[in-house]
């Protein structure tokens, strides 16, 4: 009997797709458990008077997009390398245009 390595591709693909589908089932089953934990975190942030909960624990600009400091050098440069893995999980913060008009003169 001729054993070709290509015959293993279809079963491995089926196992990978089954694992992918099971990850969605697992996420649906754990949704309530995580919802309770997230509600507890929100209540703690409210009780302590925090503005936001921290999403990540790495750099300042990856903890929460609303807390990004706009004056950090090389933070949002188009060709800058990403130093932290969480920077690839969220989009860069939207910056306000500096040439906007004010409602009243200072």
Q: Report pLDDT digits (tens) over 27-68.
A: 999 988 888 888 888 888 888 887 666 666 676 666 666 665
Domain ranges of the chain: 7-88
Sign of the alpha-carbon torsion through 74, 78, 79, 82:
positive
User: Are the C-beta atoms of 74 and 80 separated by less than 8 Å?
Assistant: yes
| pLDDT above 90 (res 24) | yes
Quick one: DSSP state of residue 66? Answer: G
Q: Give the residue carrying structure tokens 């906007």.
A: 100
Question: Model-level pTM?
Answer: 0.40
Please report, rounded to a whole number, the percentage of residues in the chain having pLDDT higher than 70.
Answer: 49
């Amino acid at each position: 009997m001729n054993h070709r390595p290509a015959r293993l591709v279809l079963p491995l693909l089926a196992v990978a797709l089954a694992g992918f589908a099971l990850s969605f089932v697992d996420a649906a089953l754990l949704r309530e458990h995580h919802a309770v934990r997230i509600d507890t975190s929100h209540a703690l942030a409210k009780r302590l008077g925090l503005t936001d909960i921290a999403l990540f624990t790495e750099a300042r600009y990856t903890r929460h997009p609303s807390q990004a400091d706009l004056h950090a050098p090389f933070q949002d440069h188009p060709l800058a390398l990403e130093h932290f893995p969480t920077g690839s999980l969220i989009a860069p913060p939207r910056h306000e245009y500096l040439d906007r008009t004010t409602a009243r003169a200072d």
